């Protein structure tokens, strides 16, 4: 079994906050995979969370949104992991990352909390060796503006990249359960920034005698 845990704060007040992008990713995964063979269950209360379970890529997946508030996320994630005896290499925590540009995504195993209270809480309950899916929200540039930034709602201008990111994460998530984290990361990146036409050097026309060099 795999556990996908998205971090955020419960309640309508926080629903569109940048800090809640982990919740948004979980909602999109369940929405996209709630038809066909991988049908996901309706959201229900368990493990101090909202949970849904289904099948992705032939593997059982538990999707979890802790309702403990961000700073205590580890209580909910830890309870689910212990109950199902899930290996930490199959625990993926999705969360907002200030140090990544908006729309960027990185996957890594282990590491520090980098000031993220939700990750710090999960690590306190599980240890550091779980998978992290870092979803970039960008940094406001000034330390004093960090809290208003993460607890502020996504701007209307963010809508296009945010939708593309969430849809790509949900569309490519089967690569995670097949053990292809790097390919998952690459596929999502390509969705957000597709290659330019004629990017292949072999497809470029050789300059003729009348062509001028570009500077």
Residues with a catalytic annotation lie at 19
Count of CB atoms situated within 10 Å of the CB of 125:
17
- Spatial separation of the C-alpha atoms in residues 40 and 36, rounded to whole Å: 9
Residue indicated by tokens 């292809």: 180
CA 169 to the chain's CA centroid: 7
Question: Which residue intervals of the chain are DSSP H helices?
Answer: 21-32, 73-84, 117-126, 146-150, 159-172, 174-177, 181-192
| CA 60 vs CA 18, 37, 103, 153, 214: distances in Å | 29, 11, 28, 33, 54
Inter-residue contact 7 to 118 (CB < 8 Å): yes
H/E element, 106: strand 105-109
Count of CB atoms situated within 10 Å of the CB of 99:
14
- Spatial separation of the C-alpha atoms in residues 192 and 169, rounded to whole Å: 10
């Amino acid at each position: 079994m795999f556990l996908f845990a998205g971090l955020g704060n419960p309640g309508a007040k926080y629903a569109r906050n940048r800090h809640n992008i982990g919740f948004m990713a979980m909602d999109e995964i369940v929405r996209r995979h709630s038809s066909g063979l991988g049908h996901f269950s309706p959201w229900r209360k368990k493990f101090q969370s909202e949970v849904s379970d289904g099948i992705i890529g032939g593997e059982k997946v538990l999707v979890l949104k802790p309702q403990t508030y961000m700073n205590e996320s580890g209580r909910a994630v830890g309870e689910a992991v212990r109950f199902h005896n899930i290996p930490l290499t199959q625990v993926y925590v999705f969360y907002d990352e200030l140090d990544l540009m908006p729309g960027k995504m990185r996957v890594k195993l282990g590491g520090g909390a980098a000031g993220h209270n939700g990750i710090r809480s999960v690590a306190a309950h599980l240890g550091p060796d779980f998978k992290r899916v870092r979803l970039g929200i960008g940094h406001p540039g000034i330390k004093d503006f960090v809290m208003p930034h993460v607890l502020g709602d996504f701007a209307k201008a963010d809508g296009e990249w945010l939708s593309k990111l969430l849809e790509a994460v949900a569309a490519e998530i089967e690569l995670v359960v097949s053990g292809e984290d790097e390919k998952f990361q690459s596929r999502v990146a390509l969705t957000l920034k597709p290659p330019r036409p004629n990017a292949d050097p072999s497809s470029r026309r050789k300059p003729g005698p009348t062509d001028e060099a570009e500077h």
